[in-house]
Amino acid sequence: MIYVHVPYCRSFCKYCDFYSERSAPRSSFVDEICREIVLRRDEIKASEAIDTLYFGGGTPSVLPLSYLERIASACGKNSHREWTVEVNPDDITPEYAAGLAALGVNRVSMGVQSLDDALLGWMNRRHDAAGARRAFDALRGAGFGNISTDLIFGISGLTAQMLRSTLEGLLQWRPEHISAYQLSVEEGSALGRLAAKGLYREMEDSACRMQYELICRTLAEAGYEHYEISNWALPGFRAVHNSAYWTRAPYAGFGPGAHSLRIDGALQVRSWNSQRLSGWTDESETLTAEEIRTERIMLGLRTADGVEASLLPEGAAEECRLAASELPGRLRIPEENFFVSDDIISTILSIFAI
């Protein structure tokens, strides 16, 4: 299970505070990634039970195909159960889409965010709705049968009708996977600076909840499984890579800002790379048994599969508004409470002093 962080963007979205650089990708970056991969080959081997490769960012689709191929080859092979590349619609041409498929990429995650052109402009996205549709068609034309699209809700100015129109547009495309994220105002983003000056006001929680519930209803009616708080999939198309994060499988992360989890028996170590374009170094921490248990609860309760009942104290289901799932011996948060799952999880961790 391998993650590669590509820290390049052609422009910065108004809401984003992820580490990225607005510069052209350099071959020296690829050299450093490949060198890091070779030095940490043992970590890749230790995480190979989950056979996935994920290029995230940043904007991985700004990389030339030759750069992607070099990095994938350094990882040991160009064939994975699931190889995902995040893309911006503006980067996808029929030629680039065909090139991704030829490399062995078998899943694409495309940041659509909205199909309202005015809202896309406000976000400082590089594409418009028509461009997103052209990109999706190019990916389908290249043979991709596993495409994920992202959308954002909870934006001041986003009406229920605007959101409904975006959902209707996406469902016409019928992507295999849809992720929906509530806009958050991050201190280091352009939006955060606007909010600090009083030039942007966050949407009320009640309105955000109504939009989230609209997404839940619409996607359920269209046959999508709501398998994690922010993720929906057609049957058989859950994201293998991301699902492994939620079960705390070991993974190896490469590139600036990337995180990793190493598991050796009872010893579990989380490490992360510094956020700079060249010469990044890693730091690490060894997790205690209590920290491991806390993470298992926090991540598991984000999913429709929930967590083992044995992880929680007796009575937790009633006290924290949890419901028993169809699977014996497991507890989960029902979908109607997904929107307030953070509060429920916090209650579990505080009331029961986990």
CATH architecture of 2-244: Alpha-Beta Barrel (3.20)
pLDDT in tens, the chain (354 residues): 999 999 998 776 777 676 667 777 889 999 999 999 999 999 999 999 999 999 998 899 999 999 999 999 999 877 899 999 999 999 999 999 999 999 999 999 999 999 999 999 988 888 999 999 999 999 999 999 999 999 999 999 999 999 999 999 999 999 999 999 998 888 878 878 888 888 888 899 999 999 999 999 999 999 999 999 999 999 999 999 999 999 999 999 999 989 999 998 889 999 999 887 777 778 999 999 999 999 999 999 999 999 988 887 776 666 655 555 556 778 888 899 999 999 888 888 887 665
CA 178, 182, 183 angle in degrees (round to 5)?
125
Please check whether residue 84 is in contact with residue 105, taking contact to mean a CB–CB distance below 8 angstroms. Answer: yes
Angle, helices 160-173 vs 129-141, to 10°: value is: 20
Cα gap 92→316, rounded to integer Å: 48
In this structure, the dihedral spanned by the alpha carbons of residues 15, 18, 19 and 25, taken in order and rounded to 10 degrees, is -80
Q: What is the torsional sign of CA 19, 23, 28, 31? A: positive
Question: What does the alpha-carbon distance between residue 85 and residue 102 come to, in Å, rounded to a whole number?
Answer: 13
Q: Are the C-beta atoms of residues 188 and 138 closer than 8 Å to each other? A: no
Q: What are phi and psi of 56, to 5 degrees?
A: -120, 180
Long-range contacts of 287-290 (CB under 8 A, 24+ apart): 290/354
Give the end-to-end CA distance of the chain in Å, rounded to a whole number.
29
Per the CB < 8 A criterion, the answer to whether 129 and 89 are in contact is no
CB-based burial of residue 77 (10 Å sphere; 0-12 exposed, 13-18 middle, 19+ buried)? exposed
Q: How many residues does the chain have?
A: 354
Enumerate the CATH 3.20.20.70 domain ranges in the chain, comma separated.
2-244
* 8 Å CB contact between 18 and 57: yes
| Residue 138 three-state SS | helix
